[in-house]
């Protein structure tokens, strides 16, 4: 296996790790928001707003990772 193939695999695994971490983070954020809504239904609005902000910030990590992966793939070729 040459170095460029190993680098391509490493780049793909890094993007996969970022996506997996974001998926786990999204699941935790959503489950906690649902738990809070189940405990206090009147707090649904503020909890959902905070959940959407949190999910947006969590999802920015894999988006940045994919952009970096594309940049690194461009340098390989």
Q: What is the pLDDT of residues 20-38, one digit of tens each?
A: 999 999 999 999 999 999 9
Q: Is the pLDDT of residue 77 over 80?
A: no
Q: Mean pLDDT across the stretch 8-21?
A: 93
Q: Which fold has domain 3-76?
A: F1FO ATP Synthase (1.20.20)
Which value, in Å, is the radius of gyration of the alpha carbons in the chain?
18
At residue 2, φ and ψ (nearest 5 deg) are -85, 170
Residues 6+ apart with CB under 8 A from 21: 61, 62
pLDDT for 55 equals 95
The answer to whether the CB of 4 falls within 8 A of the CB of 76 is yes
Query: pLDDT by residue (tens digit) across 34-61?
Result: 999 999 999 999 999 999 999 999 999 9
């Amino acid at each position: 296996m040459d170095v460029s193939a190993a680098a391509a695999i490493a780049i793909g695994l890094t993007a996969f790790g970022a996506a997996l971490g974001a998926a786990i983070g999204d699941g935790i954020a959503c489950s906690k928001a649902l738990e809070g809504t189940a405990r206090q239904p009147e707090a649904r609005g503020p909890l959902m707003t905070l959940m959407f902000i949190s999910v947006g910030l969590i999802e920015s990590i894999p988006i940045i990772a994919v952009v970096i992966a594309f940049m690194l793939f461009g340098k390989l070729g």
